[in-house]
């Protein structure tokens, strides 16, 4: 629940700030008449994300176990790719997002008409919605469709809406740059865990060699799949299910936060470690290279025209 709450909060707040920038700009231009069209695009993006989630949840029931695992593994890989891309994109483009969004609105108002404004609202939210849906779906699958995971995501999204509204009203101030930096670091660790789970799915589907295929090394004494260094690279790396129950609280907490499972294959461990090493190193380098000279502040209300005005170009 904690992991999905933080994901819902982080992704939801990012989307809320993007929408806030669009709404503020239209109000400063005196184009409140265009707001319903932009909100229509936002609503379509939310419906798309919900539709994808429903399709993934209910559409897999008619498939074989191997097909379900294959699709789950591939979608988890897609979620990891999208989250990784988003993390580095935010590091590079976050400071100019406000100008980019306002430029898109200018073009939509002068050239595109109604559908261009709908498209602006749709595109601004759809990426966040699809990315969040895939990531949460992958995590819920790894938790065995735990209702608490879904509840955490819903609470996170609701909290993001409330915080976004409070920021826009000037009721609270938040160091957004620090918030997104911390949550991006958390997402790096979460994505590593989702990658490990994706590898397990693909191994269970037979798409990758592992303990469930003929490539698994066997223990000469027991005839079971080998464990430890003797099992490298297609057997079990470790098995601590005797100490940590796979369906227990500690197993769930560890899996949700650092991607640890009581029993993991060598391919899972290698994928998890390489992802953290490579992506974590690049993430830290990006932080050092992109340190701002002034802190990022939250949006505020301009008393002169009652419009919501971000005080820093990189507020999103």
Q: Is the dihedral of CA 33, 38, 40, 42 positive or negative?
A: negative
Provide, rounded to the nearest whole percent, the portion of the chain with pLDDT above 70.
Answer: 84
- Across 7-16, 195-204, 245-254, the highest mean pLDDT is recorded for 195-204
pLDDT of 113 higher than 80:
no
pLDDT of residue 203: 93
Q: Are 17 and 176 in contact (CB under 8 A)?
A: yes
Q: Which residue has the higher pLDDT, 12 or 306?
A: 12
Closest residue by Cα to residue 20 from 167, 175, 180, 178: 167
Q: Is 236 helix (H, G, I), strand (E, B) or coil?
A: strand
pLDDT at 298 exceeding the cut of 50:
no
Cα separation, 58 vs 120, whole angstroms: 30
Q: For the residues 293-305, what does the mean pLDDT come to?
A: 42
Q: Is the pLDDT of residue 117 over 80?
A: no
- Domains of the chain, by residue range, sit at 2-309
For 98-103, what is the mean pLDDT? 74
307 has a pLDDT exceeding 60: no
Q: What is the pLDDT of residue 299?
A: 44
Please report the pLDDT score of residue 303 as a whole number.
Answer: 37
- Contacts of 83-87 with C-beta under 8 Å, sequence gap 24+, read 83/131, 83/135, 83/187, 83/190, 83/191, 83/194, 84/191, 84/279, 86/127, 86/131, 87/184, 87/187, 87/188, 87/279, 87/283
Bridge partners (DSSP) of residue 309 are 300
274 contacts: CB under 8 Å, gap ≥ 6: none
pLDDT tens digits, 125-143: 888 888 888 888 887 777 6
Is the pLDDT at 50 greater than 50? The verdict is yes
Per-residue pLDDT for 254 more than 80? yes
pLDDT of residue 199: 94
pTM of the model: 0.77
Phi, psi (5° rounding) for residue 87? -60, -45
User: 225 versus 256: which is more confidently predicted?
Assistant: 225
pLDDT over 50 at 34, yes or no: yes
Q: What confidence score (pLDDT) does residue 147 get?
A: 75
Mean pLDDT across the stretch 88-116?
73
The per-residue pLDDT of the chain, averaged, comes to: 80
Give pLDDT, residue 54: 82
Q: Is the separation of the CB atoms in 121 and 315 below 8 Å?
A: no
> Lowest mean pLDDT: which of 113-117, 232-236, 259-263?
113-117
- What would the pLDDT profile of 208-228 be if each residue is shown by its tens digit? 999 998 888 998 888 889 999
């Amino acid at each position: 629940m904690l992991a999905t709450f933080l994901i819902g909060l982080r992704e939801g707040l990012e989307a809320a700030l993007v929408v806030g920038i669009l709404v503020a700009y239209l109000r400063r231009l005196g184009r409140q008449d265009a707001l319903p069209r932009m909100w229509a695009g936002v609503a379509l993006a939310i419906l798309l994300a919900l539709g994808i989630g429903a399709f993934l949840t209910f559409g897999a029931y008619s498939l074989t176990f191997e097909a379900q695992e294959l699709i789950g593994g591939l979608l988890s890989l897609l979620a990891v790719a999208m989250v990784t891309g988003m993390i580095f994109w935010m590091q590079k483009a976050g400071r100019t997002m406000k100008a980019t969004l306002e430029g898109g609105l200018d073009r939509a108002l002068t050239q595109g008409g109604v559908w261009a404004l709908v498209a602006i609202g749709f595109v601004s939210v759809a990426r966040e919605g699809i990315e969040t849906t895939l990531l949460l779906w992958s995590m819920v699958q790894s938790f065995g469709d735990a209702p608490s995971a879904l509840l955490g995501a819903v609470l996170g999204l609701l909290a993001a809406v409330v915080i976004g509204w409070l920021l826009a009203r000037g009721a609270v101030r938040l160091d957004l740059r620090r918030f997104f930096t911390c949550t991006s670091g958390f997402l790096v660790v979460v994505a590593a865990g989702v990658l490990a789970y994706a590898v397990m799915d693909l191994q269970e589907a037979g798409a990758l060699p592992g303990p469930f295929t003929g490539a698994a090394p066997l223990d000469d004494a027991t005839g079971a799949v080998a464990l430890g260094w003797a099992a490298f690279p297609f057997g079990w790396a470790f098995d601590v299910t005797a100490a940590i129950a796979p369906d227990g609280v500690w197993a769930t907490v560890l899996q949700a936060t650092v991607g640890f499972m009581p029993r993991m294959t060598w391919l899972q461990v290698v994928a998890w470690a390489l992802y953290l090493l490579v992506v974590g190193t690049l993430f830290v380098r990006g932080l050092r290279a992109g340190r701002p000279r002034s802190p990022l502040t939250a949006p505020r209300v301009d008393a002169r025209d009652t419009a919501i005005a971000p005080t820093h170009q990189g507020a999103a």
